[in-house]
Homo-oligomer: A and B are copies of this chain.
Amino acid sequence: MIKKSLQELADFINGKVIGDANVIIAGINSIDEAKNGEITFIANPKYLSMVRTTKASAIIVSFDFKDSEKPLLCTDNPYLAYAKIAGLFHKKPYHARGIDPNAVIGNNTEIGIDVSIYPFAYVGNNVRIGDRVSLYPGVYIGDDVHIGEDTVVYANTSIREGCKIGKRVIINCGTVIGSDGFGFAKDGKVYHKIPQVGIVQIDDDVEIGANNAIDRAALGKTWIKRGVKTDNLVQIGHNVIIGEDTIIVAQVAIAGSAEIGNNVVLAGQVGVGGHLKVGDNVTVGGRSGITKDIAPNQIVSGIPAIPHKEWLKSQVCITKLPKMRKSLKELESKVEKIEKKIKSELEG
């Protein structure tokens, strides 16, 4: 078990202690679950009131917080400090498991050292797998796939032929990389399949959620750039490009050939139409539908997407629509009466 003094933790994250810096911390936990000997954190103001009842021995807070008798670890970014300290206490050391005899490995493969290839993992021909890669049970790796070092592919994930996966990538269970893009040409009433002969390229330090579907390109590549993080059940169409450090929340769908910039956030259940561009540093609110290009550096919501603040106002108005409609009808009748009265007076 790892034990650290509060001062050691402060040094680790470049923070500052208020109170007893010698208190010994042996774990990190949420504010309601933390026990004596553990540190906790406040990243969401919703939980501020629990500061008085938590059993934690110390609390990670921002510098503007001082209202506690407990030892405090102050920092600019309590959530980041929590991430780092949780990593310190919880990150499990990697143990290479080797290649299980119940795995199947194809011909002409290059497999690095210290890998962990579990039973029922299947590796095709001409595959290259880097050092310390983990392939869990039920993972399918098609022919000619490359996987960079330290990448983890969880159970029952399928990576089809020719795809390229970078280093330190995490792919959660049940995800599909390199499925056929949705491309058909209409021939009378019948659809004619367009061969999907491109690949998916996933760069370093990407994390892909569970049960995603990322289609291979029709021609060329579908490209997920460095540092992208996708949540669960995300759909990415063929030939899509996603910029660096972009966040894709659960159940987002991005249609073919769309191009998402760097440092974008697509919130949950967003849809992006085909062949559209979303600029760098854009945040798209939950359930929005992108139907035209979005210029960089803004927050948008709705269908069609408009600046988020305007969208909030219009959504409130929607709930007032029946009342507005009634007011409008009353006004129409009043104005009609006035017009009649004026006319009759003029004529009278």
Report A's interface with B, CB cutoff 8 A: 28-30, 33, 44, 46, 77, 79-80, 82-84, 86-87, 90-91, 102, 104, 118-120, 122, 136-138, 140, 142, 154-158, 160, 170, 172-176, 179-180, 182-187, 189-195, 197, 207, 209-213, 215, 218-220, 227, 229, 231-233, 235, 237, 239, 244-245, 247, 249-251, 253, 255, 263, 268-269, 271, 273, 275, 286-287, 289, 291, 302-304, 306, 310-311, 313-322, 324-325, 327-328, 331-332, 334-335, 338-339, 341-342
Contacts and interface: CB of A to CB of B under 8 A. Distances in A.
Contact of A174 (B77, B211, B245, B286): B211
Contact of A210 (B142, B213, B327, B334): B213
Nearest to A194: B83
A202 B181 CA distance: 20
A314 to B, nearest CB: 5
B122 A120 contact: yes
Contacts of A157: 156
Given A210-B176, A213-B211, A275-B46, A185 B83 contact: yes
A232 B213 contact: yes
Contacts of A136: 140
Contact of A104 (B102, B263, B321): B102
A185 B319 contact: no
A220 B30 contact: yes
Contacts of A338: 335, 338-339, 342
